[in-house]
Amino acid sequence: MSGILSSRAALVTGSSSGIGLAIAEALQRAGAQVIYHSHEPRPKGWPENREFLQADLIPADAAGKLIEAAFALRPRLDLLVSNAGSFFDVPFLNMTLELWEKTMALNLRAMYFLIQAFAKRLVLEKRGGSVVVMASTNGLQAEMDSTAYDISKGGVVMLTRTLALSLAEHGIRVNAIAPGLIRTPLSRAWMAARPGIEEHYRKNIPLKRIGVPEDCTGAVVFLASDAAAYITGQVLAIDGGLTSQQISPA
């Protein structure tokens, strides 16, 4: 898909590692000018010409400030990939208000107001654009001891649909990908604490493997591009077929 995003400019939140990094690099290979983002400092060893913004998205005013900084770097910004998010869950009976609010602030509130700030600028300039957000198969099917995360990702699924309606008249499309189990720094730690979980998933995923970040990139490049010009409000599961089946008895 080389060149499919030529002349486009993108911000990818949470793009210093994992799925976000793979997506940002894929957008760049497809011709887009990409702004990378993390809540941590710029990773060492990155190319000098790689544009990067650091921002913690949990504070209430952070989303608007990040979008303002991104447009200052790339005034013709017209692609937003809202990927930043994390998992802070404990078992339901141990959940605290602090962990609940941290989950919702990062995984849902920040995404909503990032898109709002991005869209306001495009509407003001009478330009269209594309938004791709990071949902999860956890927004489609619940998982044990993942209550706050599951609820936040369920909110992202509905965010995708309702914002697609709100922004359609302005030529701004909103779609989502919903990855299943993908090997990232976060999921590796989760699997390491659960002996036997990798084998369980390899057995039950129809394609018989756990995903890698690169499995998510083609869908995002497509959804961001004019090849998806008539697609909005959609959530695409990228899970090796896991959510397409009922688990049969062994």
Find the CATH number of the domain harbouring 188. 3.40.50.720
On whether the CB atoms of residues 237 and 182 are closer than 8 A, the answer is no
Residue 16 lies in a domain: yes
Domain that holds residue 58: 9-240
Which regions of the chain are under pLDDT 70? 1-2, 247-250
pLDDT at 187: 85
Number of compact structural domains in the chain: 1
pLDDT at 248: 58
What digits encode the pLDDT tens for the residues 37-95?
A: 999 999 999 999 999 999 999 999 999 999 999 999 999 999 999 999 999 999 999 99
DSSP state of 7: T
Helix (H, G, I), strand (E, B) or coil at 23: helix
pLDDT at 1: 60
Residue 109 lies in a domain: yes
Residue 36 lies in a domain: yes
Active site residues: 136, 149, 153
Beta bridge partners of residue 10, listed in sequence order:
34, 79
- Angle CA 200–203–205, to nearest 5: 100
pTM: 0.95
Residue 217 lies in a domain: yes
Residue 131 lies in a domain: yes
